[in-house]
Structure 1
Amino acid sequence: MPQLPALFAALSDETRFSIVERLLGKGEQSAGDLADVADITAPAISRHLKVLREAGIVTQRIDGQRRIYAVAPESLQAISSWVIAHRDFWEGSLNRLEAAIENRRTESF
């Protein structure tokens, strides 16, 4: 299972986030296809892809001379599971806060 801190750290960069968004929306792409996600050089795109690969967010396969990248589903599943677990906590907390505010409002009248 991918480590969540590494996933979040890799996604915290706007360019890397844009790369993942593109891959999610259009499916697997070559590094050249991803060059227009940001106004940066091809070597810079490659460095961003390396960070995403090392974090486990994207996979790479070789197709002749091209490197093809895709989102690793297990990394998104790890993020999704974490968000859902914490969503339940915050929804419960917010529901209790709403009830406390409503009780206080009722007591004031």
Structure 2
Amino acid sequence: MVDLPLPAERPLQQLGRADLGAFTAKVLFDPSSYIGQRIELASDAPTPLGMAAALGAALGREVRHERLPLGAVTNPDMHAMWAFLNGPGYRVDILSLHGVHPDISWTRYSDWAERVWAVAR
């Protein structure tokens, strides 16, 4: 089960660590191209239903999303984060970002799940 305090169809933008590393290296090797820019990054934006399906495929068994009520998140920092993600959330233009930086592999959530969880089968 995937317990998240998000609606089933709400995209959750995420960034793979390898993608962050590759982008950071790109900036470090050519910093002059990025001076004065603010670039927000995201690799993928799966919905909780999509995450459950990807995890289920990787594990070879059913995984369901169950929406956790936001009020059940009692840690103030975590509550603030989930409130933000339920509100405006992140707004990276993923298609444009990936188009401008095609040299980054941009890991899809389903590929990550397969790589990480297929060994658990």
TM-score bin, normalised by smaller chain: under 0.3
Higher relative contact order (CA 8 A, sep 6+): 2
TM-score by length of 2: 0.23
Higher CA-based Rg: 1
More helix by share: 1
